[in-house]
Amino acid sequence: MKKELTLILGGARAGKSVLGERLAGEASRVLYVATAEAKDEEMARRIEAHRARRPQAWQCLEEPLDLPEAIAAYEGTFDLLLLDCVTVWTSNVMLSAPEGVDVEAEALRRTERLLRRYEDGDAAWVLISNEVGLGVVPPSVLGRRYRDVLGKVNQRLAAAADRVLLVVAGLALDMKALGAQQIDRDI
């Protein structure tokens, strides 16, 4: 499998994880990186559904925050890394930041470290993230801040990605193959 960075974007329940799992199924050695924590019953059910869908042969790394460091411990053991998902990871980064820290700068700093980990390795990566900027404006300051920070993280990942797949209602478009142009290189 050739080294390639794929970003899968889309709304909630659009089919992003299923597509990511299908892409990962083409690899012989998969590291599935899960960022969610079961802090309530509903999230516990979602996590269990994801676990049940995954092939037993896949390695699983459950890490909510320190992705580059945790992934480094698995280097050389996988041909493809499937990270599900950047959305939850960004939320974890924001909520763990000490008071007074610029959360956008912190999220982008961590995103750069994640991209360096990809560049330093030999495996293909598939990253899944929600496109939250297409919906209703969040009613809270924190919600709007989160939407903005995740939008910046997604832009940075899209700029670095070889492929960006936009998933809507179970249908995927390859944005870069369709000629999508990066708007701002200074993200």
Active-site hit among 46, 50, 152, 176: 50
168 is annotated as an active-site residue: no
Q: Which secondary-structure segment (H or E) carries 23? A: helix 16-24
Q: Which secondary-structure segment (H or E) carries 44? A: helix 41-53
Separation of alpha carbons 8 and 119, rounded Å: 18
Query: How is residue 73 annotated by DSSP?
Result: T
Separation of alpha carbons 148 and 145, rounded Å: 5
Q: Which residues of 116-150 are buried (b: 16+ CB within 10 A; e: fewer)?
A: ebbeebebbbbbbbbbbeeeeeeeeeeeeebbebb
The CB density around residue 54, as the number of other CB atoms within 10 Å, is 18
Helix, strand, coil share (%) of the chain residues, nearest 5 = 40, 20, 40
- Active-site amino acid positions: 50
